[in-house]
């Protein structure tokens, strides 16, 4: 019987049971896509990361319970934590080959800093039905990338109060919805966000690193400085420190381990 290690960790978390849980499965070689998707569906987390060794790092892929995605922040953070703590503990940085190009993660004390592509938003009209599905009208509306839109609300209270009709979001948009607002005086952050992606099998993602590839450029421009801190105000919640650097964005967070085991796919 084939056995594979599985690491279940909380990414962008400052304590256990916070941040975004991810599974990481190191492989000696790629399995077929149907098996990878079946493992991700069995894990039933927002993302499962699979990695195989290469000459100078690892190749990395990410699967939700429903689809493969081309970029995932929290599962990359989780995969780097596994590399540094279990696979290559002598390394101070790791390079991943991915569908979104090479991604590098560095140790920074107890935290990890990811080097990701910046995805600045572009103004866009409000799609039909979006305001009704969200239960509120956007103050600003943007196209984030080919897979997401960015909705800006005026107040942190409006963002926290959102109870969207996720089925309507999935049917009407077919992609993810990043929602953001300025942080309140007691939030300890520069901005708040939430992320809804029912079309990808994720009603609300707890903490979304890839969304900050768009949030960081937006808030850096709006606030006038390249370093901003975001708090994703989901039920679990999580912090993402962001630094805009040209066409790249550095995303820093911490990882808390939860479970180490084996699977027998």
Catalytically active residues are 47
Report d(CA 27, CA 219) in Å as an integer: 38
Q: What angle do CA 99, 214, 110 make, to 5 degrees?
A: 80
Pinpoint the alpha helices (H) of the chain.
33-43, 73-82, 130-134, 156-160, 166-172, 212-223
Q: Among candidates 227, 228, 219, which has minimal Cα distance to 178?
A: 219
The DSSP result for 2-23, as a single string, is: --EEEEEEEET-SSTT-SEEEE
Q: Which residues pair with 260 in a beta bridge?
A: 7
């Amino acid at each position: 019987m084939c056995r594979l290690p599985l690491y279940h960790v909380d990414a962008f978390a400052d304590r256990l049971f916070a941040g975004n849980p991810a599974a990481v499965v190191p492989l000696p070689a790629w399995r077929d896509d149907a098996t990878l998707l079946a493992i991700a569906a069995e894990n039933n987390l927002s993302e499962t990361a699979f990695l195989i060794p290469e000459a100078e790092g690892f190749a990395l892929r990410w699967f939700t319970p429903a689809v493969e995605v081309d970029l995932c922040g929290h599962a990359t953070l989780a995969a780097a934590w596994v590399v540094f703590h279990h696979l290559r503990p002598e390394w101070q940085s790791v390079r991943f080959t991915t569908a979104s190009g090479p991604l590098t993660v560095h140790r920074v004390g107890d935290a990890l800093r990811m080097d990701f592509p910046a995805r600045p938003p572009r103004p866009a009209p409000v799609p039909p039905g979006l305001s009704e599905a969200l239960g509120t009208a956007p103050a600003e509306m943007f196209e984030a990338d080919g897979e997401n839109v960015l909705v800006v609300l005026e107040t942190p209270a409006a963002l926290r109060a959102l109870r969207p009709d996720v089925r309507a979001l999935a049917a009407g948009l077919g992609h993810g919805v990043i929602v953001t607002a300025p942080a309140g005086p007691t939030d300890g952050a520069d901005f708040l966000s939430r992320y809804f992606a029912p079309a990808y099998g994720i009603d609300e993602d707890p903490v979304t690193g890839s969304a900050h590839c768009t949030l960081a450029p937006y808030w850096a421009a709006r606030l006038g400085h390249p370093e901003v801190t975001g708090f994703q105000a989901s039920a679990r919640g999580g912090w993402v420190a962001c630094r805009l650097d040209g066409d790249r964005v550095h995303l820093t967070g911490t990882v808390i381990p939860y479970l180490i085991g084996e699977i027998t796919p």
